[in-house]
Structures are given as structure tokens and as C-alpha cells.
């Protein structure tokens, strides 16, 4: 049942870039159902770690599990922390390019050789995804091929994917959720499961939450089947 409007309450949310598309869909439904209003700050792991560990006021965070180092974890209530979803890494190309869908290691290789350039998030932007991918593909002999085509762009994966859609590179490799939500990009599929690349997202309430009732309501919503369906629609696997 829809609750009475709570226009005086603004829920302050921090979101990982890979959870951005899901967060947008979740917030829209949560606000419509409850009458709460929300603000969302989205960033790379380094961004969210700096916000949470630097005293920025927030109520709920949904961030990569590895973001929650001891210093950052001190800002959340550990009793409220839980793993919510996982995103695989994936590959996408500009819509006008011809590249095979990724359904196997062989088709992944073919997709790499079908493009002239591959955009990755520059590690200086605060995300280590490029290094994770390069280290993983080294085991199947593809690191030299990808490094020869790599184009490092500043920003989290969804920003890099947008720049690929604008023509700055032929393809992008990052979290699948950051590719699928970008118009102008054709998602080829997840990178082979054998590479073991993926990111888990954890949700938690801040110790200094301004409105604990609103924060608890959002956390409870994240656990509902409705929220799970919204997350899966963006490419996440719910946990």
C-alpha cells in the first residue's frame, strides 16, 4: 500500500557506478510507493570511499564490497550490511559496428579482433576494473591483443561507455550494468565466466543516518521481489 507522502524527508544515497542504472530504477519506484524524496551521488570506488570515509552525510550506501575497507566500514551500521547483487564484466560496441555476440571464449576472442579500439576506465579515475580485466585475460593469452587496442578514458564505466557511443572508441569493457544502460551501445555479452571477473555490491545504513525510518524503509525495499526484478532488468544477478 502506498504510504502517505513524506515530502519533508530527503533520503541521501551513495551509489557505485556499476549500480547506477539499478539505483535510478529503484529510487523511482521507491519514491512513487512511499512519498519519500531522494538524492543520489554516484561514483567510482575511490569516489564512494572518499565520500563515506570523509564525513559526507548520507543515509544509505550501495557500493562495491571491496570499497568497504575498515576506515569506510566504520561509517556504516554493520548489522544492516548485506550483499545485494553482482554484475559480471562485459563488452559492448557502437551500434554501427559488426562484432559477434559473446557466448564462449572463442567468440570473445573474435569480438576483440573485430574492433580497432577498446575503451577502458583509466585507473586514475579511481576504478581498478581495467587492471582486473587485463590480469584476467592474461591467463588466456589475450592481454597483448587488448593492450594494443586499449584506449584509457577518464571516468567510471558508464561514462566511458557513453564516450564510446559518441565515437571515441569502437568498444568498451567494463561492468555489464554500465554498458547495457547506455544508448548507442550494443551489448555483446558478459566476458567468459572462466575469467572470474565480477563485482558484488553491498548495501548498508549509515551510522549517522539523518532519518533512520527512511533509511530502514529503503533497505527493506531493496530486499523485496519487486526490487529484485528491477535490478535483474539492468543486468544484475541478485544474491
Query: Burial of 7 by CB count in 10 Å (0-12 exposed, 13-18 middle, 19+ buried)?
Result: exposed
Task: Name the pLDDT band for 55 (thresholds 50, 70, 90).
Answer: confident
- Using the predicted structure, report yes or no on whether residue 109 has a pLDDT greater than 50: yes
- Using the predicted structure, report yes or no on whether residue 128 has a pLDDT greater than 70: yes
Percentage of the residues of the chain whose pLDDT score is greater than 70: 97
- Using the predicted structure, report yes or no on whether residue 203 has a pLDDT greater than 60: yes
Q: What is the pLDDT of residues 161-174, one digit of tens each?
A: 999 999 999 999 99
- Using the predicted structure, report yes or no on whether residue 83 has a pLDDT greater than 50: yes
Task: Name the pLDDT band for 36 (thresholds 50, 70, 90).
Answer: very high
What is the rounded distance in angstroms from the CA atom of residue 133 to the CA atom of residue 123? 12
Q: Which residue has the higher pLDDT, 91 or 1?
A: 91
- Using the predicted structure, report yes or no on whether residue 7 has a pLDDT greater than 90: no
**For the residues 196-222, what does the mean pLDDT come to?**
96
Domains defined for the chain, CATH in brackets = 10-85+199-238 (3.40.190.10), 88-195 (3.40.190.10)
pLDDT of residue 4: 47
pLDDT of residue 214: 95
Task: Name the pLDDT band for 71 (thresholds 50, 70, 90).
Answer: confident
pLDDT of residue 3: 53
Amino acid at each position: 500500500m502506498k504510504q502517505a507522502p513524506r515530502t519533508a524527508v530527503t533520503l541521501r544515497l551513495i551509489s557505485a557506478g556499476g549500480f547506477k542504472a539499478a539505483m535510478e530504477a529503484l529510487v523511482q519506484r521507491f519514491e512513487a510507493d512511499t512519498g519519500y524524496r531522494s538524492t543520489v551521488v554516484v561514483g567510482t570506488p575511490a569516489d564512494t570511499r572518499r565520500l563515506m570515509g570523509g564525513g559526507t552525510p548520507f543515509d544509505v550506501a550501495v557500493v562495491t564490497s571491496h570499497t568497504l575497507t575498515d576506515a569506510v566500514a566504520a561509517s556504516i551500521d554493520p548489522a544492516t550490511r548485506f550483499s545485494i547483487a553482482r554484475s559480471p564484466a562485459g563488452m559492448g560496441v557502437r551500434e554501427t559496428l559488426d562484432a559477434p555476440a559473446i557466448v564462449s571464449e572463442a567468440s570473445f576472442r573474435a569480438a576483440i579482433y573485430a574492433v580497432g579500439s577498446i575503451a577502458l576506465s583509466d585507473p586514475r579515475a579511481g576504478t581498478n576494473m581495467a587492471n582486473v580485466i587485463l590480469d584476467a585475460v592474461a591467463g588466456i593469452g589475450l592481454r597483448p591483443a587488448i593492450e594494443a587496442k586499449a584506449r584509457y578514458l577518464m571516468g567510471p564505466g558508464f561514462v566511458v561507455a557513453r564516450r564510446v557511443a559518441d565515437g571515441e572508441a569502437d568498444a568498451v569493457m567494463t561492468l555489464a550494468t554500465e554498458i547495457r544502460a547506455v544508448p548507442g551501445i550494443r551489448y555483446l555479452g558478459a566476458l567468459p565466466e572462466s575469467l572470474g571477473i565480477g563485482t558484488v555490491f553491498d548495501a548498508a545504513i549509515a551510522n549517522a543516518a539523518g532519518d533512520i525510518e527512511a533509511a530502514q524503509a529503503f533497505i527493506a525495499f531493496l530486499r523485496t521481489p519487486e526490487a529484485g526484478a528491477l535490478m535483474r532488468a539492468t543486468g544484475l544477478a541478485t544474491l
